[in-house]
Structure 1
Amino acid sequence: MKIYDFEGFPNPARVRIALAEKGATDKMQFVHVDVLKGEHRLPGFLAMNPNATVPVLELGDGTTISECTAITEYIDHAFDGISLTGTTAKDRAVIHMMQCRAEQGVMDAVGTYFHHATPGLGALELYQNKEWGLKQRERAIAGMRYFDSVLATQPFAAGQHFSVADITLFVGLNFADFAKIELPADLPHLKAWRARMAQRPSMGG
C-alpha cells in the first residue's frame, strides 16, 4: 500500500498519526507529492484524486482512496490495535459526529483562513477571498471554545476514549499555530487536553 502525501502538512499528519496509533506505519510506502511545486495538479495525480488534495491511499489492487476520514476508516479496520472509529453503533456515531465537528469547526476553518487570508501562496491557492478567510478565523476560534466546553466534562473529544476526533482536533490546533491563530487564554480544558495529547508517541511525545 502507498500513501501519497506531503509530510508536515495537516491532512497528511492526521493519516500518519492514525497509522502510528495502529502500529502500521511500516506497512505503508510513502510517496512524496511536492504540493509547493504544483505536483498535486498534474494529470497523473488528478487521475487518483480529482480534488487535487493530499493524502491519497493506494491499495494493492490499484484502488485509490482520498479524504482523511475515509483513509482513516480503512486504516482502522485493516489493522489490529486501538479502535479509532468506535466498535459499537453508539460509539461509532458519536465519534463520527465529533470528528465532523473538529474537522469543520476547527481544521477546515483554519485551513480556509490560511488559504484565503495568507498572501503569496502561489500554487497552493489559485483563488483567494480575504474577507471569507477572516470570517473563517472567527469560526475556528468559536470551534476552539466549543471543544473547551466539551472537554470540561470528558477526557477526550468524543467521550471516554481516544479516537479519530482527537487526532483531527489536535492537528487542527497545530495548524492554527502555523496559521497564527492564537488559542484564547481562557480555554483551560482544551489546553490541558492538548498537553496530554502531545505526550502520545504518535503525536510526537
Structure 2
Amino acid sequence: MKIYDTEGFPNPARVRIALAEKGALDRVAFIPVDVMGGEHRTEAFRQKNPDAVVPCLELDDGSHISQCTAITEYIDGTFDGPSLMGSGPKERARIAMMNLRAESGLLNAVGDYFHHATPGLGPDLETDQCPEWGTRRKAVAAQTMSYLDDVLAQNDYLAGDAFSVADITAFAGLAFADFAKVEIPAGLENLQAWRAKVAARPSVAG
C-alpha cells in the first residue's frame, strides 16, 4: 500500500492519525506530493486521483481510493484494533453523522476561508477566489466549534464514549484553524479539554 500525501497538511494528517490508531504506520509507504509546486494538479496525479487533492491511497492491485473518510474506512477494515468507524448500525450512523458535521462545518469551512479569504497557498495556486464566500465560511467554522462544545458537554468524544474518525476530523480541523488564524470562540471549555485529551493520545502526540 502507498499513500500519496503532503506531510503536515490537515487531510493527510487525518489518515496518518488513523493509521497510528491502528498501529499500522509501518505498513504503508508514504509518497510525498509537491502541492506547493502544483504536482497534485498534473495529469499524472489526476490519473490516480481526479479530485487533484491529497491524500490518495494506492492499493497493491494498482487501484486508488481518495477522500479521507473512504481511506479511513479501508484502513479501519484492513488493520486490527478498535474500530474508528463504529460497530452496529446505530453507532456507525452516529459516527458518520458527526464526522460529516466536523468535516463540512469545521475542517472544510476553515479550508474555504483559508483558500478564498486569505492569500492561501499563494497566487499560483489560488486562482479562483471568492472572498465573500470565505468570510461566510469562517463564521460557519466558529458556529460549528460552539456546537461541538455543546456535544462534548454530554459525551467524552464527539460520537459517544469512544474515540472515532469524527474526533480525528475535528482535531485536524482545529489544527487547520490555528494555521489559518481562525480563533476558537472564548468560553468553549469542553472543546478545549477534549482537544487536550486527543492531543495526548499516542497517535497524535507521538
Q: TM-score range by the shorter chain?
A: over 0.9
Query: TM-score, normalised to structure 1's length?
Result: 0.98
Q: Which amino acid aligns with 1:198?
A: A
1:173 Cα shift?
Answer: 0.4
Percent identity of paired positions between Structure 1 and Structure 2: 61
- 1:123–1:16: structure 2 CA closer, same or farther, 3 Å change rule? farther
Q: Which amino acid aligns with 2:160?
A: G
The total of aligned residue pairs comes to 205
Determine if contact 1:41/1:52 at 8 Å carries over to the other structure. Answer: yes
Matches of 1:124 and 1:63 in 2, distance apart? Answer: 28
Residue 178 of structure 1 aligns with which residue? 179
Residue 40 of structure 1 aligns with which residue? 40
Q: Which amino acid aligns with 2:200?
A: Q
Matches of 2:126 and 2:92 in 1, distance apart? Answer: 34
Matches of 1:27 and 1:185 in 2, distance apart? Answer: 41
Gaps of 5+ in 2: none
Gaps of 5+ in 1: none
Determine if contact 1:35/1:123 at 8 Å carries over to the other structure. Answer: no
Question: What is the root-mean-square deviation of aligned Cα atoms in Å?
Answer: 0.9
Residue 157 of structure 1 aligns with which residue? 158
**1:1-205 to 2 correspondence within 5 Å?**
1-119=1-119, 121-204=122-205
Matches of 1:123 and 1:147 in 2, distance apart? Answer: 35
Matches of 2:23 and 2:176 in 1, distance apart? Answer: 24
- Secondary structure of 1:36's aligned partner: coil
Determine if contact 2:6/2:35 at 8 Å carries over to the other structure. Answer: yes
Deviation digits for residues 102-128 of structure 1 (CA, Å, limit 9, x no counterpart): 000100000000000112623432210
1:203 Cα shift?
Answer: 1.1
Determine if contact 2:18/2:165 at 8 Å carries over to the other structure. Answer: yes
- Secondary structure of 2:31's aligned partner: strand
Q: Which has the higher mean CA deviation after the structures are superposed, 116-125 or 39-48?
A: 116-125
Q: Which amino acid aligns with 1:10?
A: P
- Secondary structure of 2:3's aligned partner: strand
Query: TM-score, normalised to structure 2's length?
Result: 0.97
Matches of 1:125 and 1:109 in 2, distance apart? Answer: 16
